[in-house]
Structure 1
Amino acid sequence: MAFVIDVTVDIDAPAELVWQVITDFDRYGEWNPFVSECRSSLVPGEPIDMLVHLGSRPRRQREYIRSHTPGRELSYAMKPVPFGALHSLRSHTVTPLDDDRTRYESHFELDGWLHPLVVALLGKHLRRGFAGMTAGVEERAESLRAG
């Protein structure tokens, strides 16, 4: 069974503003405790390069864009490790709500026969990282809305 982290938050800001926060990679270092650097064209099949903070040492990570619906959804995945050893999926989904509010859904899954070892080593850091990034999206969007 895959290791899954789902975090959802309703944000007091319009969907366009939440989407802007998610895709303004140049500003990640200002608000994102999990991914402090990010670069991508957002074109499916092309890379997304990140500096990810897992534990004591940041690490460079390259994944690949799977899908991108501007203003709505972005997903990417690591290059699968041979023989089904490890594969991942990460997605961001933005849904407009009433009164200029937005539901932001953060999803991560890790699977493959090697995933229990990765989870044993990094599971708590992954949980903390995705929760921190989700809180950061919320705080940044609400702050930008306030002015």
Structure 2
Amino acid sequence: MLDWMKTAKSVADDPVFGFNPDAVTRSITVDIAAPASVVWQILTDLPRYNEWNPFCIRAVSTLKMGDPIEMTLISYATAGGPTVPNLEYICGFEPERLLSWEFPNLDFWPYPARRDQVIEPTGPASCRYFTTDAFLGENGIHVFRFAGPWVKRAFDDTAIALKARAEALYVSGS
């Protein structure tokens, strides 16, 4: 469990942003035969997402805390889904360890969420990666029930693609 999840208020304490551990989607964990620095380089090289990421094919951001990240996502909710614009905000940035963004609670779209991409170094030339999406507040469990399965597929595909990209770059020395 991520540190912020351990200290987050429950939905009972905060119905808008509260955390419910049953409303979290988690990708598979992939072991990557490349250093955490290589994986970090890929995750922060937003202009190249379309070269390897099957879910997020466009991302634009300064990656500074609080700044927006504008994304174009492939909809996994429908077979061969259309692209979907998505705007979230950077909320976690720990080089070679964590890249996070969140969707705020909006009056017209009360579905806050937080995505964490986690890199765990396992050796000088290896690491582990997984990603989570916590659907927050009293609506979070409903969003999880609807979107959780297809978000997991998208995140699993992203983890597998990230592993392939990192290992290929590391072997080629790029």
State TM-score, norm by structure 1: 0.89
Aligned structure 1 segments of 4 or more residues deviating by more than 4 angstroms: none
Is 2:169 the counterpart of 1:144?
Answer: yes
SS, match of residue 97 in structure 1: strand
Residues 106-115 or 81-90, more deviating:
81-90
Letter in 2 for 1:4: V
The answer for unaligned runs of 5 or more in structure 2 is: 1-19
Residues 79-88 or 134-143, more deviating:
79-88
**Is the Cα contact below 8 Å between 1:38 and 1:51 reproduced in 2?**
yes
Letter in 1 for 2:23: F
Give the root-mean-square deviation of aligned CA atoms: 2.0
Residues 107-116 or 42-51, more deviating:
107-116
The residue that corresponds to 1:93 in the other structure is 118
State TM-score, norm by structure 2: 0.76
Written as runs of structure 1 = structure 2, the 5 A alignment for 1:13-28 is 13-28=34-49
SS, match of residue 81 in structure 1: coil
The answer for unaligned runs of 5 or more in structure 1 is: none
**Is the Cα contact below 8 Å between 1:85 and 1:113 reproduced in 2?**
no
* Matched length: 147
The residue that corresponds to 1:131 in the other structure is 156
Residue identity (%): 32
Q: C-alpha displacement at 1:117, in angstroms?
A: 4.2
In terms of Rg, which structure is larger?
A: 2
SS, match of residue 113 in structure 1: coil
The residue that corresponds to 2:60 in the other structure is 39
Residues 121-130 or 32-41, more deviating:
121-130
**Is the Cα contact below 8 Å between 1:84 and 1:112 reproduced in 2?**
no
How far, CA to CA, are the matches of 2:82 and 2:142 in structure 1?
19
Letter in 2 for 1:133: T
Q: C-alpha displacement at 1:66, in angstroms?
A: 0.8
**Is the Cα contact below 8 Å between 1:80 and 1:87 reproduced in 2?**
yes
How far, CA to CA, are the matches of 1:98 and 1:117 in structure 2?
39
Letter in 2 for 1:5: T
The residue that corresponds to 1:3 in the other structure is 23
The residue that corresponds to 1:69 in the other structure is 94
